[in-house]
Amino acid sequence: MKVYLDNGATTKVDPEVVNAMKLYFLEKYGNASSLHSYGQQAKKALNNSRKVIAKIINADPEEIIFTSGGTESDNIALRGLADANKKKGNHIITSKIEHHAIIRTCQDLEKQGFKVTYLDVSEKGFVDPKDVEAAITKNTILVSIMHANNEIGTIQPISEIAAICREKGVYFHTDAVQSFTKVKIDVKKMNIDLASFSSHKIHGPKGVGAIYIKKGTKVNSLVTGGAHEFGKRAGTENVAGIVGFAKAASILNKDHLEKMTTLRDELINELLKIPHVQLNGSKQKRLCNNANLRFNLIEGEAMLIHLDMNGIAVSTGSACSSHELKVSHVLKAIGLSHDVAHGSIRFTLSKYTTKKEIDYTIDKVKEVVLKLRKISPLKPGYSAKDFPDHNH
């Protein structure tokens, strides 16, 4: 059996999305900036797609700027806003568990003279709104806190954080790449000034995303050229990709979310029955499709390889970088040691995941854990009796 449980990395493109896109590759392939009928057909599709995305988050269509994906959207939010507001201040606040598109952009802005505060998080991965409030100074221009974490699935209290920012006159941005269509977003009610989205996390094509920029928010364009996307992002729009993005966003529904939540809970509850296994992140306030667990006394990479041999695709809490095995900055931030973090596995489901696949995964994980623990050098405090065969 083949089981794909790495939907936090990317997703299968929905066949309905592919069909919607075909028309704009083969027939209505005009440039949306052209005045002839081909161009106007493309422009109409672009405007309709903008309305779809805007409606989902309760924004106005002209507040939606299409980009190449979440990383570009994050860069526009941070670099574009920092550049446009540098006379007002040079201080940015973010958290230690943000996506690298935020962390590394902040690190680059520090080299350019901006000051960045990286907030700690709780052991469940939560940012405390009080910490945000305490960190704001007269020079603070932007707070960027992700809506839901891409690794451990923790959903942040961004409404509370954004309300503090609004009261203090500070812009608030959220990376909503993982939460978009999975968690309700109302940019008006939630006091959000900027938000980043991506298509390929929700069964749309890769290379397409969007950024919501509230009217009146000062943001400079990162790319100069034509006046595309209301002057916020120069370059001919990827109309077919944008049509696919909007189609994907409109397809995901409540039934899909409930199904993913049910299967996620079954996966978590069954795997927690294995001795010395803990959940990373919050059990309640987490993405409907995310299960991140740490399997003590096991290397995550070994587990990933064994699961892959059984047809199951997952991801680990660490990544190979050159000759060094680096632990996830997210797992370090929630207080995990190197050894424990290296035994973490992220399972991310999709609307296509079935109960049969989850049951198969549970069985194979139990087999692999037993196998790897039997050959693992036992750590102090543990003995062979901690891993009985009846857990198979």
Q: What is the residue type of 173?
A: H
Domain match, 165 and 263 both: no
Domain match, 95 and 115 both: yes
Question: Per residue in 238-292, pLDDT tens?
Answer: 999 999 999 999 999 999 999 999 999 999 999 999 999 999 999 999 999 999 9
Full residue range of the structural domain in which residue 186 is found: 15-251
Predicted structure pTM score = 0.94
Domain match, 241 and 267 both: no
Is 227 contained in some domain?
A: yes
Active site (catalytic) residues: 320
Domain match, 244 and 281 both: no
Q: What is the pLDDT of residue 324?
A: 52
Domain match, 225 and 277 both: no
Is 49 contained in some domain?
A: yes
Is 222 contained in some domain?
A: yes
Domain match, 285 and 173 both: no
Last residue of a domain, one of 223, 251, 279: 251
CATH number at residue 87: 3.40.640.10
Is 129 contained in some domain?
A: yes
CATH number at residue 341: 3.90.1150.10
The token duo for 227 is 């006046």
Domain match, 321 and 208 both: no
Question: DSSP per residue over 166-207, as a string?
Answer: HHHT-EEEEE-TTTTTTS---TTTTT-SEEEEESTTTTS-TT
Last residue of a domain, one of 251, 270, 285: 251
Q: What is the pLDDT of residue 320?
A: 45
Last residue of a domain, one of 251, 278, 310: 251
Is 5 contained in some domain?
A: no
Domain match, 163 and 134 both: yes
Domain match, 295 and 222 both: no
User: Is 337 buried (19+), middle (13-18) or exposed (0-12) by CB count in 10 A?
Assistant: exposed
The token duo for 45 is 């599709």
Token look-up 């568990």 returns 97
Token look-up 């540098």 returns 86
Q: What is the bridge-based pairing of β-strands 312-313 and 290-295?
A: unpaired
CA distance 228 to 68: 14
Is 4 contained in some domain?
A: no
User: Dihedral of the CA atoms 90, 91, 96, 99 (nearest 10)?
Assistant: -50
Question: Per residue in 118-136, pLDDT tens?
Answer: 999 999 999 999 999 999 9
Is 265 contained in some domain?
A: yes
CA distance 51 to 297: 50
CA distance 64 to 53: 7
The token duo for 95 is 């958290």
| Number of domains observed in the structure of the chain | 2
352 closest CA partner among 2, 1, 4: 4
Q: What is the pLDDT of residue 348?
A: 98
User: Is 155 buried (19+), middle (13-18) or exposed (0-12) by CB count in 10 A?
Assistant: buried
Q: What is the pLDDT of residue 323?
A: 42
b/e burial code for range 225-263 (CB count within 10 A of at least 16 → b): eeebbeebbeeebbbbbbbbbbbbbbbbeeebbebbbeb
Domain match, 202 and 297 both: no
Positions of the chain with pLDDT lower than 50, given as ranges = 320-323, 380, 387-392
Domain match, 195 and 304 both: no
151 closest CA partner among 3, 297, 331, 335: 331
Domain match, 221 and 246 both: yes
Is 345 contained in some domain?
A: yes
Q: What is the pLDDT of residue 392?
A: 35
